[in-house]
Structure 1
Amino acid sequence: MAIQHADEPLLRLTWTDRVTGAHGYLVVHSLVSGLATGGTRMRAGCTMSEVEDLARGMAAKTATFDLPVGGAKGGIDFDPKDPRATEVLRRFCEAMRPWLDAHWVTAEDLGVPQHIIDEVFAELGLEQSYHAAIRRSADPARTLRRVQAGLNAPVPGGLLLGDVIGGYGVAQACLGVTAAWNRAIEETTVAVQGIGTMGGGAAWYLHEAGMRVVAVADAAGTLYDPAGLDIPTLLQARDAYGEIDRSAVPDHVQRLPRQAVVGTEATILVPAAISYALTPDNSYDVRAEVVIEAANAATTPEAEAMLAARGVPVIPDFVANAGAAAWAWWLLLGQVGAEPTDSFLKLRGEMQSKVALLLGAWNTDRVPPRQTAWEFVTAREVAAAPAESALTIP
């Protein structure tokens, strides 16, 4: 079966919650071996168009990392801080159960923590959010144990592997830039917009690697210190919504407006909060030498073209933030297990080699990284994919 990557998705579904009136969306961009993968997000203002863009991006991620699965995405237009949010998520998953049972492998995303979506799946009798893939295993109970062991493996810092692997991948994309440009890590600075699961994980691993994280931004504003922030302390001071308790921030750290992070003097800018964070209106504020998209669709096409014209490359989301998706399938396929070192080594090698490829084309011919990445995706997608029955999950 050939994988077709078209702008038009395979499926769009719209759901209305009869209790709250909230709308939810499922977009399946492509199916490979009858499966598609992509998280479920919840935020006030989520639209079908947004979910469609994200599903297309997921298809690109799976192709980039040569995963035997298509791309999909779920989204719910509802405030995740509303006390009714979990029940809304449960009703959405119940409505989407035919797809979740047989075709759609989902996971956490903006506004939906992994433990919450797993609780909802357990209530529905589906065990875990990777259910559609796990049920194909010759021994589903064994596969479920392997998945749960990997997700819940402890890592330094008191967190779990499943919570940090995406941020670790983003950090490796940043470190791949330093390697491609022959920069000393300790002389490289980074600003991170968003300090939740993805941004916080990236900041942690960059700090651990010796890179100076000079700015982080949450909903309350930007924290800036040119000498480098104490990232472990700031992460410990986050609340359940990823906002840093300002009473725990040292007095010498500058408090700036939330959008100030975009214009921070830093080698690398990592937008890790919301989609469309970089637009034509603020692209000229960017003072970084490279942008690493940790958030999905963090840069509008117009802003990316404007940045490229100024000599600032953008490492696209479907490469830089694909670590969690790739790792989940490596875990499902038994290529990694519960030992975090194995997962870190595999993701580091895969991510840094891809970033080197993208920046190599940029350095020599000024080919935008997204163009090079899409050429790779297209080459993979036009090749013959495995037959429907060929996907084996141990």
Structure 2
Amino acid sequence: MLKVLKESIELAGLPEEVYTYLSKPDRILTVKIPVRMDNGKLVVFEGYRVQHNNALGPYKGGIRFHPEVTLDTDIALATGMTLKNSLAGIPYGGGKGAVKVNPKQLSQKELEQLSRGYARAIAPIIGPEKDIPAPDVNTNPQIMIWMVDEFSKLKGYNVPGVFTAKPPELWGNPVRMYSTGFGAVVTAKEAAEKWLGGFEGKTISIHGFGNAGQWAAYWASKWGAKIIAVSDTSGTVYDPNGIDVELAMKVKNETRKVTNYPKGEKIPDPNAPLFVEADILMPSAIENVITEENVDKVKAKLIVEPANGPV
């Protein structure tokens, strides 16, 4: 991310001091989150909240729960949020949060404890006018409302604006759940019409079938494209004749594994969608999945990025 930042500042002809200023975040908070597991054992998880820059407004950025997160990754993602919000003309700064954990190994009770503990730990530095977190990888509206509830208890009154992407029944925006995937498909459609002669009938491969990937697949199929590959950590589903997206979403959300989808070829490698023959590739999982080492294997004519910094 710092390389991108430096190159962008040089291309814009801005003074080097702009890079010096933006290359470091305003604040880094590292927290510990003790959780009493179902077996009675106490486990302490590590978490972060990085506040990069708030020149344009409150810090804004998601919270991810992932076993491979690092502080360096969180800083890079927070920097990216500053750049994205400013380029889009949105009056927010950049922030990012994370907890080093595999949430798939937690029970619902343990996950709630972790979510509430993280909200308590970062509560002193967030708020509707200071820093507004949101979901990211492996977090969702349920986790957001646990965090809103915990923050509100600390304040002594309801503060629904402190986190976005809450359930619609509890102060949430009903379109927030699918907005990332929808926006990515709008971009893909515009790009395909300019460079591929149209969007309808084009084949799409989707790497990552979480929130962004699922809704990207949903809207792309609704607008006439054919989804031929999707993946999650369990592996890849590949079907050149087209995947039934709504069925795949149902299977994923009920079983937590898209490879339980009853049709198509199952490939053990979750990264297989990056390299299949497709008109459009939509990396929708995590950053840095397409690198100098593997880019020559990518066969898609167009890459559209629902994920943060996948290339």
Pairwise same-fold verdict (TM > 0.5)? yes
2:138 is matched with 111
In structure 2, do the counterparts of structure 1 residues 269 and 182 end up closer, same or farther at CA, with 3 Å as the change threshold? closer
Looking at structure 2, the residues matched to 245 and 183 of structure 1 have their Cα atoms a distance apart, in angstroms, of: 32
* Mapping of residues 348-359 of structure 1, within 5 Å: none
* Mapping of residues 185-196 of structure 1, within 5 Å: 185-196=199-210
Secondary structure, in 3 states, of the residue corresponding to 1:26? Answer: strand
Greater Cα shift, 195-204 or 34-43: 34-43
In structure 2, do the counterparts of structure 1 residues 34 and 294 end up closer, same or farther at CA, with 3 Å as the change threshold? closer
1:151 is matched with 173
Looking at structure 2, the residues matched to 149 and 17 of structure 1 have their Cα atoms a distance apart, in angstroms, of: 27
Task: Show CA shifts across 1:183-223 (max 9, x none).
Answer: 12234211001111100000000000001111111222211
Task: Show CA shifts across 1:222-243 (max 9, x none).
Answer: 1112222111221121135752
Give the partner amino acid of 1:93: A
% identical equivalent positions:
25
* Mapping of residues 255-334 of structure 1, within 5 Å: 255-256=266-267, 257-299=269-311
In structure 2, do the counterparts of structure 1 residues 132 and 259 end up closer, same or farther at CA, with 3 Å as the change threshold? closer
Looking at structure 2, the residues matched to 293 and 221 of structure 1 have their Cα atoms a distance apart, in angstroms, of: 20
1:339 is matched with none
Q: Is the 8 A contact 2:63 2:96 kept in 1?
A: yes
Looking at structure 2, the residues matched to 178 and 205 of structure 1 have their Cα atoms a distance apart, in angstroms, of: 15
Give the partner amino acid of 2:149: A
2:95 is matched with 72
Q: Is the 8 A contact 1:121 1:129 kept in 2?
A: yes
| Residue 16 (structure 1) shift | 1.9
| Residue 182 (structure 1) shift | 5.3
In structure 2, do the counterparts of structure 1 residues 284 and 145 end up closer, same or farther at CA, with 3 Å as the change threshold? closer
Secondary structure, in 3 states, of the residue corresponding to 2:64? Answer: strand
Check if 1:9 corresponds to 2:30.
no
Q: Is the 8 A contact 1:9 1:27 kept in 2?
A: yes
| Residue 275 (structure 1) shift | 1.8
Task: Show CA shifts across 1:147-174 (max 9, x none).
Answer: 956623xxxxxxxx22111111111111
Looking at structure 1, the residues matched to 124 and 255 of structure 2 have their Cα atoms a distance apart, in angstroms, of: 31
Q: Of residues 230, 234, 249 in structure 1, which corresponds to 2:262?
A: 249
| Residue 105 (structure 1) shift | 0.4
1:131 is matched with 162
Give the partner amino acid of 1:254: E
In structure 2, do the counterparts of structure 1 residues 175 and 147 end up closer, same or farther at CA, with 3 Å as the change threshold? farther
Q: Is the 8 A contact 2:144 2:163 kept in 1?
A: no
| Residue 279 (structure 1) shift | 2.1
1:231 is matched with 245
Q: Is the 8 A contact 1:16 1:24 kept in 2?
A: yes
Aligned length: 275
Q: Of residues 55, 64, 77 in structure 2, which corresponds to 1:41?
A: 64
Structure 1: give runs of 5+ residues left out of the alignment: 134-143, 153-160, 300-394
- Which has a greater percent of strand? 2
| Residue 62 (structure 1) shift | 0.7
Q: Is the 8 A contact 1:105 1:129 kept in 2?
A: no
Name segments (4+ residues, structure 1) moved above 6 Å.
Answer: 144-147
In structure 2, do the counterparts of structure 1 residues 98 and 33 end up closer, same or farther at CA, with 3 Å as the change threshold? farther
Looking at structure 1, the residues matched to 162 and 171 of structure 2 have their Cα atoms a distance apart, in angstroms, of: 15
| Residue 71 (structure 1) shift | 0.5
Looking at structure 1, the residues matched to 244 and 213 of structure 2 have their Cα atoms a distance apart, in angstroms, of: 15
2:6 is matched with none
1:50 is matched with 73
2:4 is matched with none
Looking at structure 2, the residues matched to 123 and 182 of structure 1 have their Cα atoms a distance apart, in angstroms, of: 49
Q: Bigger relative contact order, structure 1 or 2, given CA contacts below 8 A and separation 6+?
A: 1
Secondary structure, in 3 states, of the residue corresponding to 1:174? Answer: helix
| Residue 145 (structure 1) shift | 12
Looking at structure 2, the residues matched to 278 and 128 of structure 1 have their Cα atoms a distance apart, in angstroms, of: 40
TM-score normalized by structure 2?
Answer: 0.81
- Which has a greater percent of helix? 1
Looking at structure 2, the residues matched to 211 and 124 of structure 1 have their Cα atoms a distance apart, in angstroms, of: 42
Secondary structure, in 3 states, of the residue corresponding to 1:120? Answer: helix
Looking at structure 2, the residues matched to 112 and 189 of structure 1 have their Cα atoms a distance apart, in angstroms, of: 29
Q: Is the 8 A contact 1:194 1:217 kept in 2?
A: yes
Give the partner amino acid of 1:270: M
Greater Cα shift, 255-264 or 236-245: 236-245
In structure 2, do the counterparts of structure 1 residues 175 and 86 end up closer, same or farther at CA, with 3 Å as the change threshold? same
Looking at structure 1, the residues matched to 167 and 228 of structure 2 have their Cα atoms a distance apart, in angstroms, of: 40
Q: Is the 8 A contact 1:117 1:129 kept in 2?
A: no
RMSD value, Cα: 2.5
